[in-house]
Chain A
Amino acid sequence: MITAFVVFTIAAIGTYAIRLSGVFLLGGDRELPPRVRKALSLVAPAAMAAIVANSLLLNEGEWRAFGAWHLAALVAVGVALWKRSMGWTLAAGVVAFAALLLAGL
């Protein structure tokens, strides 16, 4: 518990420094170099994909048995590509997952 508290606190300080970085170092005519901007633009997709893969396809380091998780996630990805909307994707994923659990998968 103490470890978690310390980790959250240090991560919070580091994250605040990241949040301050652009606001205080840039501004005016100074801009990010294109290479840096590009790498930073890929952090969100790469990090989110890593979390999705680790939490959906694996379960505590082992392959997750095929079932409701995979099927509901497929529904969500399909709706996300079709509607391009966060709200629709969440709703479709929750409904599909609930239906699959109720169906006993």
Chain B
Amino acid sequence: MTPDPADAAGGPDHRDPAAPSPQPRAFARIGHAQWADFWAGTKAIAPLMPGSAVFGLAVGALINLAGWPAWLGPYASATVSAGASQIAIIDALTQGAPAIIAIVTALVINARLALYSASLAPVFAAFPTRWKLLLAYLMTDQSAAVSVITADKWPDPVRRRWFIFGVSGPFTGVWILGTAAGAILGPVIPSEWQIGFIVPLMFIAVLVPALRTLPAVAATGISVAVVLLLKDLPYGLNVLAGALAGIGLASFIPDRADAGAGTAPGSPEEVAE
């Protein structure tokens, strides 16, 4: 990637005391100041990295259980790059579902990323197109949340894009490496450990702490009920039906705190808590 001339100058903003003065020294044709902003982003998301690595391990192990070659694990993590949908695809295909059902289920689950993309639109607005393409590719639940929360501290768009690259790039890297490790180590993990438990546990850990609004609680309850009621549907269609029913029915329930400004329901800020 070729840095803009503006990048090499470190951008006009020097309000952040942590940032070093721009220096002519450069690594890989990227200035020192840019790496500093990148590193600040990586530090901001570092607390969430162990979870990403462990989740990656579990998804990689599932690839292995499905009997597929190990490289599919990191391939899926580097391209789809959204764990819940990858698990849904593995589940659907191992239950013998047609490809189209696996794809639709994955895209429904990933529709939430459209909300993050909308939240990030003003944050990315001043970036060149190639940066928008790159940073959108690296967008995850966690990195979108950190980016939206901290964007205000980076008023200069050049420094901000390096910061967000530092948030989302290494986080996705850890995720890919974790999946690769899981896919390779999969056969080594004893089956008595029942590593499959990480799947519900991971989603409980992400979902339950963030359950605050009535519609979100209702969506959860409706979804669980439909998944169980329709458990005899083939191909994991009960998961798709449960998710769609939860989204559709719960969206008619009014938010109690509708009048208040502040955080919109389900926004990345809320997910991050």
B-binding residues in A (CB < 8 A):
1, 3-12, 14-16, 18-28, 31-32, 35, 37-58, 60-63, 68-69, 72-73, 76-77, 80-81, 83-87, 89-90, 93-94, 97, 101
Contact = CB atoms under 8 A, between A and B. Distances in A.
Nearest to A11: B106
A93 B205 contact: yes
A51 B93 contact: no
B115 A43 contact: yes
9 contacts: A14-B106, A14-B110, A26-B118, A38-B215, A42-B246, A45-B266, A47-B223, A51-B88, A58-B231
Given A46-B250, A47-B84, A86-B206, A55 B200 contact: yes
Contacts of A89: 201, 204-205, 208-209
B264 A37 contact: yes
A50 B119 CA distance: 25
A96 to B, nearest CB: 9
Interface stretch (B16-24, B32-40, B64-72, B155-163): B64-72
B223 A43 contact: no
Contacts of B208: 76-77, 80-81, 89
B209 A51 contact: no
Contact size class for B?
Answer: 35 or more
A40 B115 contact: yes
Interface in B217-273: 217, 219-224, 226-228, 231-232, 236, 238-240, 242-248, 250-251, 255, 264-267, 271, 273
Contacts of A11: 80, 85, 89, 102-103, 106-107, 110
Given A18-B114, A41-B266, 16 more contacts: A4-B72, A11-B107, A12-B81, A15-B80, A15-B110, A18-B110, A19-B117, A20-B133, A42-B266, A43-B108, A43-B247, A51-B203, A52-B203, A89-B209, A90-B51, A94-B201
